[in-house]
Amino acid sequence: DVAPLVAKGTTQERTDDGAPAVSHPDWNPHPIQGWTTDFIPLVLQEAIDKNFIDEIVPVAGADGIKWSQRLAAHEGILTGISGGSTFAVAMEVANNAPEGSTILCMLADTAERYLSSVLFEDISPDMNGEEIKILNSTPAYKVSE
C-alpha cells in the first residue's frame, strides 16, 4: 500500500529501448520484498496498456507479515512476506466472492531468507515446554545430545 506504482497511474520514464530510465516517483520502501521494485518493468507496462489487469488490491506489509505467520503456525506453510501478502489479498477476494467461487492463490516463495527479519522477530530461538514435549514424543527423530 505504500508503493502504489501501478495503482496511481504515474508514467514510468523509459529509455529508447523501453528500460526504466529512473526509479518510479511513487515507489517507497516497504517490507514486501520482490513485489514492488522501484520501477515498472516494460512487460508489466504492456499488460497495463492492454487492459489485462482486472483489479489492483492494495495490501499493507503488516498484513502480509501477519498472514505469513498465521500460515506457518496454523497450516505448516512456510512462506515469506510476499506469500503472506498474496494470501491476505486472496482472503479479501474470497470474502467478497460469490459463494462457490474457486480462487487460486500461489505462494511463490519460502521463508528461509526471512529467518533474521521482522517476520520471525517474535519467535524465541529456544524451544518452549510444548515444543520440547513434541520433540520428546518422537525419540526416533530426536537429535542426539
Amino acid identity for residue 142 in this structure:
K
Could you say which of 41, 56, 71 is where a domain stops? 56
In terms of residue numbers, what domain contains 42? 1-56
Identify the pLDDT of residue 144.
63
Indicate if 16 and 47 belong to the same structural domain.
Answer: yes
How confident is the model over 4-11, as a mean pLDDT? Answer: 84
On the question of pLDDT at 50 being above 90, the answer is yes
Q: Looking at the domain assignment, is residue 15 inside a domain? A: yes
Q: Looking at the domain assignment, is residue 140 inside a domain? A: no
Q: Looking at the domain assignment, is residue 49 inside a domain? A: yes
Indicate if 80 and 37 belong to the same structural domain.
Answer: no
Indicate if 70 and 118 belong to the same structural domain.
Answer: yes
Indicate if 44 and 86 belong to the same structural domain.
Answer: no
Indicate if 52 and 104 belong to the same structural domain.
Answer: no
Q: In the beta sheet, which residues pair with residue 20?
A: 14
On the question of pLDDT at 35 being above 80, the answer is no
User: What residues have CB less than 8 Å from 112, skipping those under 6 apart?
Assistant: 78
84-120 exposure pattern, b = at least 16 Cβ within 10 A, e = fewer? bbbbbbbeeeeeeeeeeeeeeeebebebeebeeeebb
- The whole-chain average pLDDT of the chain stands at 87
pTM for this entry: 0.74
Indicate if 84 and 99 belong to the same structural domain.
Answer: yes
How confident is the model over 54-80, as a mean pLDDT? Answer: 91
Which grid cell is 142?
530426536
What is the total count of domains within the chain?
Answer: 2
What's the CA gap between 78 and 92, in Å, rounded? 20
Which grid cell is 87?
494470501
User: What residues have CB less than 8 Å from 46, skipping those under 6 apart?
Assistant: none
Return left, alpha or beta for 40; rule: phi > 0 is left, psi -120 to 50 is alpha, else beta: beta
Q: In the beta sheet, which residues pair with residue 14?
A: 20
Indicate if 26 and 42 belong to the same structural domain.
Answer: yes
On the question of pLDDT at 62 being above 70, the answer is yes
